[in-house]
Amino acid sequence: MGAVGSSPLVRLGLSAPSRPRWLGVAALGLAAVALGAVAWRRAWPRRRRRLQQVGTVARLWLYPVKSCKGVPVSEAECTALGLRCGHVRDRFWTVIKEDGHVVTARQEHRLVLVSITHDDNCLVLRAPGMDQLVLPIKVPSSNRLHNCRMFGLDTQGRDCGDEAAQWFTSFLKTEAYRLVQFEKNLKGRRSKKIFSSVAQDYEVAYPDCSPILVISEASLTDLNTRMEKKVKMENFRPNIEVTGCSAFEEVSASRRH
């Protein structure tokens, strides 16, 4: 599950496999990071805060375009709207139908075949049988603003242009599609309107429910002991993969904070 808070940005980093870094965050700060690594707690009022090791960050992932392949990164910033690496943000782009309904891999399975690379100024999208699409990260403010619909809730997105629209339409081959980008000043969705049982009410762009998704390797291993067909970590598309904790510790840690 994912979570964020309103504290200053927290830098996440992975230097080398032999030198993992611990994630730290205040109890009222970025709860998602606390799930991945270090949770603050107070033993008694006015006592010094103590660090409690919860786990080690193994991998960080961004999924710039919803339902397309992930991009591994060595470091990222936690923001109120999810992870960011440079100018690339997690799930800030999505495919929509012409009537504004968001399309995911649940409807168009071939979206998972689209791979993405990036630099500071553009995304490069590749897919089987297609020429690459070079997509500027900064969309002109004069581009059309779409009213979008996702899981029954209204949101918005800035149109990424006719070239991107034609690229996805040609690749998916089912109907006309457009690509839109979220902007920080646009109308987001509230997580409690998606799942009323979530602990905190986050604003999200195009993720399903929460800004950051954290999953531990132990949880995946536990799940696979009860599955006939084994699943992989990429099936869940997490932003933060955690090692060194027990199964579902990332869930119990979030409930404590």
Q: How far apart are CA 74 and CA 57, in angstroms?
A: 11
pLDDT at 53: 80
Structure tokens at 68: 């397309």
pLDDT tens for residues 192-206? 888 777 777 888 999
The band of 145, judged by pLDDT with boundaries at 50, 70 and 90, is very high
Q: How far apart are CA 53 and CA 117, in angstroms?
A: 33
pLDDT tens for residues 66-92? 999 999 999 999 999 999 999 999 999
Lowest mean pLDDT among 99-113, 121-135, 193-207: 193-207
* Cross-strand bridge partners of residue 102: 96
Residue 179 pLDDT more than 70? yes
Query: How many other CB atoms are there within 10 angstroms of residue 110's CB atom?
Result: 15
Residue 45 pLDDT more than 80? no
The band of 5, judged by pLDDT with boundaries at 50, 70 and 90, is very low
Lowest mean pLDDT among 48-57, 70-79, 172-181: 48-57
- The stretch 47-74 carries a mean pLDDT of 89
Residue 42 pLDDT more than 70? no
- Residues 173, 183 contacting (CB under 8 angstroms): no
The band of 104, judged by pLDDT with boundaries at 50, 70 and 90, is very high
Q: Which residues contact 37 (CB under 8 A, 6 or more apart)?
A: 22, 23, 24, 53, 54, 55, 56, 57, 242
Q: Look up the pTM and report it.
A: 0.77
